[in-house]
Structure 1
Amino acid sequence: MKTIKNIFRAVRADMGGLVTYRVMPSQEVAIDDLEPFLFLNHHGPQTYPSRNRGLPFGPHPHKGFETVTFIVEGDIVHTDSTGYNSKIEAGGIQWMTAGKGIIHSENSSKEFLANGGNVEILQLWVNLPANLKNTEPAYTGLQKDEIPHIALDEGKVVVDAVSGEWFGQKGSLQSIADVHIATIGFQKSGKTTIAVPEGRTVLFYVIQGKLNVNNAEVNKLELVEFDTEDGEIQVEAKENSLLLIGHAKPNHEPVVAQGPFVMNSEFEIEQAYQDYQLGKFGSWKH
């Protein structure tokens, strides 16, 4: 079994009235400790009343990495400076490659603003290697039924294969940086074993519930850090649970993050701000 190095608990850090738990980075987890996984925010669970203001993510730029947004409950309307516009509902995901620069917003739908409802959303930032930081921006939105669902352990475990390959089945997306990501839903007592090749960083975060992981108890809002040796992760649910899991090769490059940009040097960060101010990230016409 892979060795557990640490278990970290997410820290409450609300944003604009939205209940938020900052998983990483934190005082205990540096931005490059689990590279290429850089940043993870867990928003909710929270119930919005009718006639609400919705999510607080208006137009803002990004460069140098990818964002992956998981809609557990509620919905998100994604809009960006390349012309994409889509509404993704519960169980779906949004994968955006910021690459050389993009402006986007993530807001609640008109229906949600009017009627309210439950919200639970996660956003993950995945670093791009230096040779891909200036790739063309791109966006893919997938509804729940567009993601392969792999049933294990007589249906007590269901894997939503977002990217890469899981249990012999390819996910909906193939990442340009070979990033494998899934969510796994467990019924109580459901169990599975996940093999991760040597040298890859594991992202393992319990969204809901309680799991026994390689003989350690891991609760909701907890992030597990594993070593990078070859080995297995044995998981058994102590109650109904939802897990976010991923693995990828670290880039082994400098990580310089400032605001909405992640590059390899301070000079590149300055250049990113200049490019944004010069309108090179596209125009916001929405």
Structure 2
Amino acid sequence: MIEMVIDARRKDLGGFEVGRVLPFHSRRMIGPFIFLDQMGPAEFAPGSESINVRPHPHIGLSTLTYLFEGEIMHRDNLGFTQAIRPGEVNWMTAGKGIVHSERTDPLKKAQGGPMHGMQAWIALPNEAEEMDPGFFHHGEADLPAYENGGLFARLVAGEAYGASSAVKTSSPLFYVHWEMQEGVRTAPPPGKGAGGMSERALYVAKGQIEVAGRTFHEGQLIVLEPHAEPTVKSLTPSTVMALGGEPVGERLIWWNFVASSQERIDQAKADWKAGRMALPTEDDLEFIPLPDVPATPEPAPAEVTPKPTDPV
């Protein structure tokens, strides 16, 4: 039932650790999901730096930020300023290009507190790669939820279990948050043979679960076989993200850029380096410069993950 298991690699983003799951050298994507980070868990002391990601660009993807704990302030060059809190979604579509920053509000920084969440990048299909950029915030009321017998489930994006999230996606996918008490059993959305998605995976953000007689722990992505229909059992109180979708084709990823061609990546590099991409109007005093690495060829798969100064 299990195709492979990917262990998150811990990355220090300047005093804040993430667990980087995708891309992986032998598995670049799950459906359209091309990048997956677990942010934290961390506990920031009052007055500490917290989240401080300077303005940076994206093309060819949508970013999906979802928190279990904490708060992040988003600002972009479309004019949107939006705090995200647990149970909410910030969905930003880069398309032909967008610039944004992610920081901790000064008041929250002074107070300190926890930070724990997930950030995913979803590659856009060919026909949407150059669409106009956009930003959408969704509260809990937009995300269908279910709770019974020790299981809480929220449909963060896409379609699953006969429900649809209000988050507008550009290709078929699902992204589900489970909170499972010890001993709870559930199942992911169906696979290819049952009329579901071609590619699916489970990410353990906290706790320990059993799938197909094997035990998995925090920081592991379990890639399911296309036709597998496993039962998932929580061995301890657990937080799990179920994700999947239909492939959108081969994609290149370099720094914050995703595209179906090297030429488009190179153009984005040139645009950012030349200052042709506007900074957020409310956060325009600094930015992350283009990494000083050769423009071509594309880095080897093991080296495609962003540099330490890159966004989370």
1:72–1:92 Cα contact (<8 Å) kept = no
**Which of 230, 234, 237 matches 1:233?**
230
Give the drift of 1:121.
2.1
1:280 & 1:108 partners in 2: Cα distance? 27
Describe the superposition over 1:39-58 as per-residue Cα deviations: whole angstroms up to 9, x where unpaired: 11112111111112221311
Structure 2 CA distance, aligned partners of 1:200 and 1:262?
22
How do 1:192-211 residues align onto structure 2 when only pairs under 5 Å count? 192-198=186-192, 200-211=198-209
**Superposed displacement of residue 111, structure 1:** 2.3
1:120 alignment counterpart: 116
Corresponding residue of 1:40? 36
Match for residue 97 of structure 1?
93
Q: Could you tell me how far apart the structure 2 residues matched to 1:48 and 1:275 are?
A: 35
CA spacing shift, 1:275–1:130, aligned 2, 3 Å: farther
Name the CA distance, whole Å, in 1 between partners of 2:88 and 2:213. 31
> Alpha-carbon deviation of 1:30?
4.1
2:247 is the counterpart of 1:256 = no
Q: Are 1:156 and 2:154 matched, yes or no?
A: no
CA–CA distance in 1 between the matches of 2:273 and 2:49? 28
Residues 131 and 107 of structure 1: CA distance in aligned 2, closer, same or farther (over 3 Å): same
Query: Does 2:72 match 1:71?
Result: no
Partner of 2:222: 224
d(CA) in 2 for partners of 1:6, 1:155:
30
**Cross-structure match for 1:178:** 172
The answer to whether the 8 Å contact 2:203/2:219 transfers is yes
* Alignment map for 1:131-142 (pairs within 5 Å): 131-142=127-138
TM-superposed deviation, 1:233:
3.0
| Cα deviation code 1:135-182 (max 9, x no counterpart) | 11111223345422112xx33111111122222222232312122111
The Cα shift of 1:115 comes to: 0.3
The amino acid across from 1:194 in the alignment is P
- 2: CA distance, partners of 1:36 / 1:124: 10
CA apart distance, 1:273: 2.4
Secondary structure, counterpart of 1:159 in structure 2: strand
Distance 2:85 2:105 in 1: 10
Q: What is the Cα deviation at residue 10 of structure 1?
A: 0.9
- % identity of equivalent residues: 27
Find the aligned partners of 1:179 and 1:81 in 2 and give their Cα distance.
Answer: 27
Q: Superposition RMSD on alpha carbons, in Å?
A: 1.9
TM-score by length of 2: 0.83
The answer to whether the 8 Å contact 2:59/2:95 transfers is: yes
Cα–Cα, structure 1 residues 72 and 195, in superposed 2: closer, same or farther, change >3 Å?
closer
Q: Which runs of 5+ in 1 are unaligned?
A: none
**SS of equivalent to 1:272:** helix
| TM-score normalised to structure 1 length | 0.90
* Aligned match of 2:303: none
CA distance in 2 between counterparts of 1:251 and 1:146 reads 26
* Cα distance change on mapping 1:189 and 1:233 into 2, 3 Å: same
Divergent runs of 4+, >3 A: 143-146, 274-283
**Map of 2:264 onto structure 1:** 268
8 Å CA contact 1:37, 1:203 repeated in 2: no
Q: Distance in 1 between matches of 2:261 and 2:142?
A: 38
Q: Which moved more, 1:218-227 or 1:88-97?
A: 88-97
User: Any idea what the Cα deviations from partners look like across 1:180-239, whole Å, max 9, x if unmatched?
Assistant: 11111111111112332316211321101111113221111100112223x423111111
Q: Secondary structure at the match of 1:285?
A: coil
